[in-house]
Amino acid sequence: MTALNSSAPAHKDAPSVNRSRQPISLSDVLRPIDDDMGQVTALMASRLKSDVALVDSVAQHLIAAGGKRLRPAVLLLCAGAYGYQGKNHHLLATVIEFIHTATLLHDDVVDESNLRRGRATANAAFGNAASVLVGDFLYSRAFQLMIEAGVPHTLSILANATNRIAEGEVLQLLNIGDSSVNEERYSRVIERKTATLFEAAAQIGAALSNSDSTSIETCGKYGYYLGMAFQIIDDVLDFTGKPDDIGKQLGDD
């Protein structure tokens, strides 16, 4: 077999490639939903308020930490792609981010992480007990917002996703320190732990516009594979990245 090299002529039927095209940045992708993301951030701040001082303190710590908020972005982009004109996409995008944040709180306790997004984790700042209990508060608040949105066909999507995420967390716990973990077992974890919520976000974005089942399923597949790719890259960076760049300590995950 001859080695491939860059000087070899292209196949006559191969499509031409514009190598001068610059890659699209994340900010370019998210620009159409800048205003929507701002409204989601404002909703997060208002709906996390509690008259229990510790809950309020942990919540403000989480909001100040920021984050990419890709999962709500996927929901907003899919809703926009299908021409949604209402307001429930903001509320349900907030639900998605609350569920994700709750899993992070629990994750950091299990992983004994002290740093996330360049800041002390909630468990490092407030203790494990507070972190777990505020994670539970976030889950329950997310379900309150689901009911408030009043979109029946999204409830089953979110309920099923939340249950599968919990399964993924348990599977990940079982794999800690196990050198026999193979690709199949790893994939079972990340599809539940990460891809499931991306999938749900994309499905809801399409479902809000009363799209047909094929469109909802197609969006779901997009979200699923995006989530799988995202988690694989995140895990690679957990081995090869730099703490200052990724905002957390290597090996925590």
**What is the domain partition of the chain in residue ranges?**
34-245
The letter for the amino acid at 158 is L
- For the CA atoms of 149, 130, 125, 195, what is the dihedral angle to 10 degrees? -50
**What are the contacts of 135-143 at 24+ separation with CB within 8 A?**
135/101, 135/102, 135/103, 135/105, 135/106, 136/102, 137/50, 137/55, 138/48, 138/98, 138/99, 138/101, 138/102, 138/105, 139/98, 139/99, 139/102, 141/47, 141/48, 141/98, 142/95, 142/98, 142/99, 142/102
Dist CA 108 CA 129 (whole Å): 12
Q: Report how far apart, in Å, the C-alpha atoms of 43 and of each of 36, 93, 194 are.
A: 11, 10, 23
Q: Which CATH class is domain 34-245?
A: mainly alpha
Q: Is the pLDDT of residue 6 over 80?
A: no
Tens of pLDDT, residue by residue over 148-185, are: 998 888 999 999 999 999 999 899 888 887 888 899 99
Q: Is the pLDDT of residue 244 over 80?
A: no
Strands 115-116, 119-120: parallel, antiparallel or unpaired by DSSP? antiparallel
> Treating both helix axes as pointing N-terminal to C-terminal, what angle do 70-81 and 88-111 enclose, rounded to 10 degrees?
160
Residue-level length of the chain: 253
Alpha helices in the chain (DSSP H): 26-30, 34-47, 53-65, 70-81, 88-111, 122-126, 128-149, 152-175, 183-190, 196-207, 213-240, 243-246
Q: Is the pLDDT of residue 129 over 70?
A: yes
Q: Is 231 helix (H, G, I), strand (E, B) or coil?
A: helix
Q: Is the pLDDT of residue 19 over 60?
A: no
| Maximum alpha-carbon separation in the chain | 70
**Is-contact 76 93, C-beta < 8 A?**
yes
pTM over 0.85, yes/no: no
**Is-contact 168 160, C-beta < 8 A?**
no
pLDDT of residue 240: 74
Average of pLDDT values for 108-122? 76
Instruction: Grade residue 3 by pLDDT with cuts at 50, 70 and 90.
Output: very low
Q: Which helix (H) or strand (E) holds 9?
A: none
Dist CA 222 CA 39 (whole Å): 25
